[in-house]
Structure 1
Amino acid sequence: MRGHSENYSYLCAALRARAARFYKWDELCALARGDFKALESEFLEGRYSESYRSQILSSLFSPLRKIELAIMFEITKRLRSAHLKAEGEPHELMSVILSRGDLHNFRIILRRFASDRSGQSEEYLWHLYGNLSRDFFKNVWEADDISSARKWIYLYGDPYGMILDEALVTLQSTGNLVNAERVLLLNYLKYHQDVISKYQNKNGAIAKEFLGRLVDLWNLNLWIHERAGMQTKETRVGYLPGGSWIDDKVLSKAKVITEAVQGTPWRRAISKGAFMTFHEFQWHLQKEFWIWQVSLFRKDPLGFEVPFGYIAKALAEWSNLNMIAIGIAFGLHPDEIIGRLIPVK
């Protein structure tokens, strides 16, 4: 294993060079203002051509689905390749950040079992840059019920899958999806906090802040759910401890959200003004979270900021290109599409 500084210098130089392949903001806006034929042409001839060409021979998928698959394959390939370049500390810390893919998939599975499962015809586009494989998620997803899903988790034999298992038990026993997601996030945080605790330095602190901001986001969303009357006494769950910026005790007593976010980075999301819907409020919180992550790429050129920022830029591109493709396919106005994009530089 190379020394600490060498681990970062080689990795950061490689990722800065690779980042040139991401779309710039003006390029994304230009795609959003075009039509679907222009978007298909860009995927056929542009930066995603290899992944896209592997899909166009299939007659099983719609044009939109082919673009979605090309984005998934390309971004997954880039993230896995970046992770393979890392050694030692950056490799372990990148594993923590990349595990967000598993967390995303876990949440999708929980919601699947909490709702009517009959309407899904195509397999979900899994985020497969974390710890677990497509086979794991596919088999759990296709299980007839929660008991069968848990059997698949045990048969797979990966301790990481147990993060999902306890959440499924909670969902099965209570029928409360929010409570199950709370258990899921608690177990996810505990698993990765044990990894981060080995690195009592600036780089470890960045990964720790990522987990803490996930807690902030959960708690802020829970607060707005409660104030909007979306939770009853029977379904109400507690706030999570361990946020980076939001004190859960202060938040639980806050009459207005500005009381809890004052003096924190989250105030920028709240300062956008009144929100017409819960989803609009949630989007502004998510966007603020993304802006912080993407901004790290231009911080310390020899620190964990670069690989973390690279991961964020890759996932932001996945989200943005998907939004553009879906928006154009369903006839949304270009300004509406652009308004739903994650800001990138």
Structure 2
Amino acid sequence: MSQKFQMMFQIAESSFEELPRICRTPAYVKRYLDLHDALYTAMTLARTKAERGRIYRISQTIWSELLAAGANPSEVRELLSPSYIWRHYDKVKASKVHVDSYELMYQLIQIKGRDFILRNLKKFQQRGVDIDTIAMNCYRIETKHDLEVQCAEMRVLGVNLTTIFVMANQLLVKESPKPANVYCLLYFFYQQNLSLGLIAAWIKDHCNPKIHESIIAAAPLDWTIFGINLDDYRPIWVNMNFYNFISIEPNLKKLPPTITINQFLELLNIQQVYVATRYGCDFEKFLTKNYLVSGGQIDILAEKYEHDNLFCTPDDKLRIGVTLLKYGATNINREKLMELFKQCDLSKNKRIKYGKVLNQKEI
């Protein structure tokens, strides 16, 4: 117990013992106000439950007189314990003291625990605390079992399903490294008819690499039932995995069912294809042994060649353009290729090879 608190409390206690119970004269009023000041100062110095309890025992017997003497109602409120206010709610509420029912609930949770709030649920509602706020402060969803049991209880009480979803967020985040567990929890809310927009928004905001991979894989979990837009997830997946599919093996046939070859290519630029084929495989072999045999359309690749920025040597640019033309691209600018052909310092064999494709004789 601090020395300052002890000194101030002794002043308040001695003043209280000498105090009349009814304010009749200005002198009495002053004594009540002096006592109020001493009690309030002592309360600001109190650091323990025991110290506050000593103040409450005095102030709760004379708080009406303090108000009558003109003490500040908000300061008088601080001199009343939450438990006292709860027991004498109507009397305190009818006075000048302002009682915030939500603040009182939070204080009583700290003092008496959540079970006390639930046991007095109807009274709290009658005193203006909404059921969703009560639920958010008194229920804890820590496991799937908690969710199933407590959701049923809360729904009977009238708690909004969206509120329960918010309450389950911590559990969802905890389970996020395990996509199957997250899916199971979200499916529970899906069955309860929670707005798909809310579920889809949660997935988008909390999507990690494992969930992302599960979404794109589409099996055994179909995440699209939650209203997600796969266009939000394809670009990241393609940019993280395209190297595995640009090869001389027909790997594009192994794309997940949520991504077609055309979608895969649309999400890449020609520079990425060029780099992957330059360091991983030959462009012509990629085109013939993977892209085309897997069902890719030559003109889509040619369109990217024509309009994307391609940073490479003129020889490489010519080689790719001629290869696309050779295998049937109809949207290649032949005139530009011919200009490039004239500019490049090619070997005799390449000039013959490219010249045939360009319908141009060896120069």
* TM-score, length of structure 1 as denominator length: 0.21
Select the structure with the greater relative contact order (CA < 8 A; seq sep ≥ 6). 1
* TM-score, length of structure 2 as denominator length: 0.20
